[in-house]
Amino acid sequence: MRSLFLFIFIIFWGATEAHAGLNKGKPGKIVIENAEMALTLSSDGKPLSLTHKPSGQECLEKGTNLSVFALTEHRPYDNELFLTYPAKPRTFAADTLWREGNQLKVGFQEIAYTATISLNITDDYIGFQLTGLDYEIEKFGIKRKTEIDEFTLLQLPVRKRSHLGEWLNVVWDDKVAVNVLATDEFARIDAFDKGKYQLLYAGMDNRVKLMGVGAALITTSKDKLLDRIDQLERDYQLPLGVESRRSEAYKYSYYELREVRTHNIDEHIAYAKQGGFKMMVVYYFDFAQSMGHFPWLPAFPNGMQDLQTITRKIKDAGMIPGFHIHYNKAAKNDAYVSPVPDHRLNLRRMFTLADAISAEATTIPVEENPEGCTMEDGRRMLKIGNELVSYEGYTTERPYCFTGCKRGELKSTVGPVEKGFKLGLLDVDTWPLFVRFDQNTSIQQEVGERIGKLCREAGFEFIYFDGAEDVHPPYWYNVPRAQLAVYNQINPAPVLSEGATKSHFSWHIITRGNAFDLFRPEFIRQATQKYPMYAAEYTAQDFTAINFGWNDYLAPDSISVGMQPDMYEYICSRAAAWDCPIALMGKLNEFRKHPRTTDNLEVIKNWEEARISGLLTSREKEELKNPDQEHLLLRNEENNLELIPYEQLEGVSEELRAFMFRRDGKTWVVYWHARGEGQLQLPVKLESVRLLKQAGVETDIHQEGEKSVLPLGDRRYLVFDLSPRKVKDLWEQAILL
């Protein structure tokens, strides 16, 4: 008996010593530092300090008792642990940490893993990469190497500062910036508000990738942050997001072509030049019959040659040609969907045929409960092999089935199907004009190569990644993953990009934020305040501008006053507050019909000039952030631009638009006819007023007794030797003739 006891003791002691040896650590602190920062960790994996050396500022919240590193299992997998703990996600924090050269060794609570985290210490950043996971199996009991579902590579309780850039994952103020960012597309980056601090997080998901995944820590001054990120992008061969943000083209607004053809591109260019645009964007709808394979429209009989004619003329006019695409889905009329649906289209749910069906069957019996499947029009579509089937409804109690089925949709082939066949709910997007790709297959790469070839041949230098939300989970990974699959095929790389949706890694790809969809003229101010103005302020924390577009171009009609100069003045001025461009829809018919096209485009051109040249001061930009005070950019007598606050004069007619401001001790009114031409009668004598076509260019006023009759059409200026109150009183007595 004694010998048996001794034998068991020796086995137990050996296993315990082996585990302790694997997780052995030296007591004391571990300091990881470069020229700008020092990160101090305890021997049990707790963050003790993060110091910005030049300023001496402490960047961490003390006393949080967090672990810098951790493992997560979606349920305990170790035999003894799942016998103890419930089946729910469980995180095992680091409890042992030591350093061997430029490697950290990490042991964890209750689980016999030791992680190796390799350090890349540079003057610009400190990189962390998971390069090893060793598991010690005990010599007794029922044991096996367990799965890891998530790995926390780095999490730091960073003290709050005046700004959190959620997209870039940076906490900053005017002095210091602390940034935890991915060094590849596989790292999941996030920030969590913990009251006194922001928990900056970098980790991995085993469904994506664990080993070899990395993140970096930057602690620097706010003014040097982009320099540090730029170096990191170059070292890790990432898209050069900083270089793009620093390019001259980053400032440019763009003219988005509509219904462009070889015969009308010159007219489009003429309007674009009137608006001061330095970039023109081609929408693929204008030359391709469908997204996916991009077959040419009949209006492009020479295919690429016709498109090249358009882009060449854009370049010859001194503008950058851009490309507006959908890229992560195929149109329903594309060869990827009809008549034979590609096997790489995404399926949102999978089902099993509960019984065989004939080619005539209109009810599809399935084993699984269809509850929750979409009931939206145009999205109710099943893929059964190479057949597409629409449904009207389904049952949510056994026997489960899809009902009211229409077979052979989108010209697909109808046929009988045997029991047990797997079918899926087709991932039709919300438009619903497209079907999304399965990002785990080769289809996105294939389409990316096609888009890359198209960009090279056409000479596109700007990309708008539209519909970026149209990917399946996990979104943090698949949003930039799909973008990167296209971006990497474009050579040379686009000078800048915009996109509808972005995730952390997209910061390197989508270098200028999204444009919003179109708003009606009557609500343009409210919409600008609610959406672009808010987004611009929010995204500026990520050292990124947004686009204050898209802006429609609409002539007046029976139900709307159309887009007017004051509306573009408002949009462009609010955009300039955050150094943001705009985008304008180039609709030739609307340009031709609108009586104030020249004035509209002059407004845009003035703001482009002021913003690109850096004319506006910091104080003026702050003034422009006030949503309630409107501004005019006046071209003065010396042909220079002046920023002037102004207010609208109400009460005469919808046809007359007028705004009043003070300048050089005089009361000025800028006015015009919204819909055409006419005359305006004011009860004012000639000695009290002057009429200007523009500042410094006076024109005659027709006097009729005590009243002045003014031309009413294009924008003109009235200069009164009267107070604003008296001018308002006069305006209330104005009559349209």
Whether residues 233 and 368 share a domain: the answer is no
Backbone angles phi, psi at 200, to 5 degrees: -85, 130
Backbone angles phi, psi at 517, to 5 degrees: -75, 175
The pLDDT confidence band at residue 708, using thresholds 50, 70 and 90, is very high
Whether residues 25 and 52 share a domain: the answer is yes
Residue 580 lies in a domain: yes
| pLDDT of res. 141 | 64
Residue 373 lies in a domain: yes
Q: Which among 426, 449, 476 is the end of a domain?
A: 426
**Of 598, 609, 665, 653, whose CA–CA distance to 634 is shortest?**
609
| pLDDT of res. 686 | 87
Whether residues 174 and 234 share a domain: the answer is yes
- Torsion, Cα of 153, 156, 161, 167 (10° steps): 20
Q: Two tokens at 504?
A: 């952390």
Burial label for 567, CB within 10 Å (0-12, 13-18, 19+), is buried
Residue 615 lies in a domain: yes
> Which amino acid is present at 542?
D
Burial label for 385, CB within 10 Å (0-12, 13-18, 19+), is middle
Whether residues 640 and 665 share a domain: the answer is no
Q: How far apart are CA 160 and CA 201, in angstroms?
A: 15
* Residue-averaged pLDDT of the chain: 94
Residue 6 lies in a domain: no
Question: Does residue 421 register a pLDDT over 80?
Answer: yes
pLDDT tens digits, one per residue of 127-162: 999 999 999 887 666 678 899 999 999 999 999 999
pLDDT tens digits, one per residue of 339-356: 999 999 999 999 999 999
Mean pLDDT over 80-93 rounds to 92
Residue 457 lies in a domain: yes
Is the Cβ–Cβ distance between 331 and 431 less than 8 Å?
no
| pLDDT of res. 144 | 81
The pLDDT confidence band at residue 654, using thresholds 50, 70 and 90, is confident
Residue 501 lies in a domain: yes
Q: For residue 480, what are the CA distances in angstroms to 449, 470, 483, 500?
A: 16, 11, 5, 11
Residue 48 lies in a domain: yes
Whether residues 73 and 153 share a domain: the answer is yes
Residue 227 lies in a domain: yes
Whether residues 317 and 361 share a domain: the answer is no
pLDDT tens digits, one per residue of 21-48: 333 444 589 999 999 999 999 999 999 9
pLDDT tens digits, one per residue of 221-235: 999 999 999 999 999
Whether residues 49 and 147 share a domain: the answer is yes
Question: Does residue 301 register a pLDDT over 80?
Answer: yes
Whether residues 478 and 372 share a domain: the answer is no
CB-based burial, 697-708: b 16+ in 10 Å, e otherwise: eeeebeeeeeeb
Q: Which among 645, 670, 687 is the end of a domain?
A: 645
CB-based burial, 662-692: b 16+ in 10 Å, e otherwise: ebeeebbbbbbbbbeeeebbbebeeeebbbb
Mean pLDDT over 678-700 rounds to 93
Whether residues 233 and 284 share a domain: the answer is no
Question: Does residue 685 register a pLDDT over 80?
Answer: yes
Number of domains in the chain: 5
| pLDDT of res. 397 | 97
Question: Does residue 18 register a pLDDT over 50?
Answer: no
Q: For residue 206, what are the CA distances in angstroms to 70, 117, 210, 439?
A: 14, 17, 5, 16
Supply the CATH number for residue 382's domain: 2.40.10
Whether residues 122 and 196 share a domain: the answer is yes
Whether residues 155 and 86 share a domain: the answer is yes
Which domain, by its residues, includes 455? 250-331+438-508
Supply the CATH number for residue 53's domain: 2.70.98
H-type alpha helices, 416-462: 443-458
| pLDDT of res. 80 | 84
CB atoms within 10 A of CB 82: 15
Whether residues 52 and 137 share a domain: the answer is yes
Supply the CATH number for residue 254's domain: 3.20.20.70
Q: Which among 605, 620, 645 is the end of a domain?
A: 645
Supply the CATH number for residue 695's domain: 2.60.40
Is the Cβ–Cβ distance between 398 and 354 less than 8 Å?
no
